[in-house]
Amino acid sequence: MLLKLEALGGLSPAGTLEEVRAGRRWSELFNGDLAARLCDPSYFKELAALYPGTQLRRAPRLARLALRAAAGLAPGLVPPEKRALVLVTAYASVGSTFEFLDSLLDDGPPLASPTAFSHSVTNMSAAILSQNLDIQGLTLTLTQNDFHQGLEAAGALLQGGLADTVLLGALGEIYGLMPEIEKLARPGGPPPLSDGAIFLSLSPGSPDQKGPPVEFNAPAYGDQGPLAQAWRLASLLAPNPARTVRCGPGRLEIQTREAGS
Amino acid sequence: MEVWVTGLGGLCAAGRNIEEIWASLLAGRRAGPKPPARLLALTEFRNLEGLGHPAFSLPDDCFPEGFRHSARDSLDLAEAAGREALAQAGIAAAELAEGGGLIMGGTAGNALHFLKDYDALRRGAVSPGQGFVDFFEHNPAEGLARRWGLRLPTWTVGNACCSGADAVGLGLSLIRSGRFKRVLAGGADALSLTPYVGFRRLMIYSDEPCRPFDGRRQGLNLGEGAGALMLESADSAGARGARPLARLLAYAAASDAHHLTAPHPEARGLRRAIAAALGQAAVRPAELAFVKAHGTATRDNDRTEALAVNQEIPGTPLWALKGSTGHTLGAAGALETALGVTALNRGRLPASQGFQEADPELKLAPSGPLESLKGSAALCLSLGFGGGNSALLLGRA
**CATH of residue B302:** 3.40.47.10
Residue A206: pLDDT band by 50, 70, 90 thresholds? confident
- Residue A259: pLDDT over 80: no
- Residue B206: pLDDT over 80: yes
Mean of pLDDT over chain B? 95
Task: Find the residue in A nearest to B142 (Cα).
Answer: A144
- Residue B46: pLDDT over 90: no
In single-letter form, the type of residue at position A254 comes to: I
ω into A249 cis (within 30 of 0): yes
Percent of chain A with pLDDT over 90: 61
Q: What is the DSSP letter of B331?
A: G
Q: What is the DSSP letter of B283?
A: -
Q: What is the DSSP letter of B248?
A: E
Specify which residues B187 forms β-bridges with: B105, B227
| Residue-number span of the structural domain to which B202 is assigned | 3-396
3-state DSSP helix/strand/coil % of chain B, to nearest 5: 40, 20, 40
How many contacts (CB atoms, under 8 Å) link A and B?
216
Choices 3.40.47.10, 2.60.120.200, 3.30.300.30, 3.20.20.70: CATH for A7-207: 3.40.47.10
How close B19 gets to chain A, by Cα (Å)? 31
Q: B235 or A76: whose pLDDT is higher?
A: B235
Provide, as residue numbers in chain B, all residues whose Cβ is less than 8 Å from the Cβ of A135.
Answer: 255, 257
Average pLDDT over residues B18-30: 96
Residue B317: other Cβ atoms inside 10 A: 18
Is B161 considered catalytic here? Answer: yes
Longest dimension (CA), chain B: 63
Would you call B50 and A110 a contact, using CB atoms and an 8 Å cutoff? yes
How close A112 gets to chain B, by Cα (Å)? 7
Provide, as residue numbers in chain A, all residues whose Cβ is less than 8 Å from the Cβ of B126.
Answer: 184
ipTM of this predicted structure: 0.97
Q: Does A77 touch chain B (CB under 8 A)?
A: no
Q: Could you tell me whether strands B100-105 and B182-189 are parallel, antiparallel, or unpaired per DSSP bridges? A: parallel
- Residue A220: pLDDT over 80: no
- Residue A211: pLDDT over 90: no
Separation of CA A30 from chain center = 16
Residue B164: pLDDT band by 50, 70, 90 thresholds? very high
Q: What is the pLDDT of residue B48?
A: 65
Average pLDDT over residues A36-49: 90
Longest dimension (CA), chain A: 62
As a three-state string, the secondary structure of B93-160 is HHHHCCCEEEEEECCHHHCCCCHHHHHHHHCCCCCCCHHHHHHHHCCHHHHHHHHCCCCCCEEEECCH
Of B12, B161, B162, B210, catalytic:
B161
Is B162 considered catalytic here? Answer: no
Q: B163 or A57: whose pLDDT is higher?
A: B163
Q: What is the pLDDT of residue B258?
A: 86
Q: What is the pLDDT of residue A53?
A: 65
Cα angle: B102, vertex A162, B266; to 5 degrees: 110
Provide, as residue numbers in chain B, all residues whose Cβ is less than 8 Å from the Cβ of A104.
Answer: 115, 193-194, 197
Provide, as residue numbers in chain A, all residues whose Cβ is less than 8 Å from the Cβ of B253.
Answer: 137-140, 162
Report the residue count for chain B: 397
The strand ranges marked E within chain B are: 3-11, 100-105, 154-157, 182-189, 225-233, 246-255, 288-292, 318-319, 377-384, 388-396
How close A88 gets to chain B, by Cα (Å)? 9
Average pLDDT over residues B12-34: 95
How close B181 gets to chain A, by Cα (Å)? 13
Of the segments B63-67, B128-132, B149-153, which one has the largest average pLDDT value? B149-153
Q: B212 or A222: whose pLDDT is higher?
A: B212
- Residue B105: pLDDT over 80: yes
Residue B380: pLDDT band by 50, 70, 90 thresholds? very high
Choose the weakest-confidence range: A73-77, A90-94, B296-300: A73-77
Of B138, B162, B294, B380, catalytic:
B294
Q: Least CB-CB distance to A108: which of B47, B195, B272?
A: B47
Task: Find the residue in B nearest to A139 (Cα).
Answer: B255
In single-letter form, the type of residue at position B383 comes to: L
- Residue A261: pLDDT over 50: no
Domain boundaries, given as residue ranges, for chain A:
7-207
- Residue B169: pLDDT over 70: yes
Q: Does B222 touch chain A (CB under 8 A)?
A: no
Q: What is the pLDDT of residue A240?
A: 64
Percent of chain A with pLDDT over 70: 93
Provide, as residue numbers in chain B, all residues whose Cβ is less than 8 Å from the Cβ of A130.
Answer: 255, 257, 386-387
Provide, as residue numbers in chain A, all residues whose Cβ is less than 8 Å from the Cβ of B158.
Answer: 89, 92, 122-123, 141-143
**Which tens digits make up the pLDDT trace of B265-294?**
999 999 999 999 999 999 999 999 999 999
Q: What is the pLDDT of residue B47?
A: 64
Would you call A131 and B384 a contact, using CB atoms and an 8 Å cutoff? no
Is B259 considered catalytic here? Answer: no
Would you call A1 and B48 a contact, using CB atoms and an 8 Å cutoff? no
Q: What is the pLDDT of residue A112?
A: 94
Q: What is the pLDDT of residue B201?
A: 95
* Number of structural domains in chain B: 1
Please state, in angstroms and rounded to a whole number, the distance separating the CA atoms of residues B38 and B59: 9
Q: Tell which A residues from 192 to 251 touch B, by Cβ distance under 8 Å.
A: 250
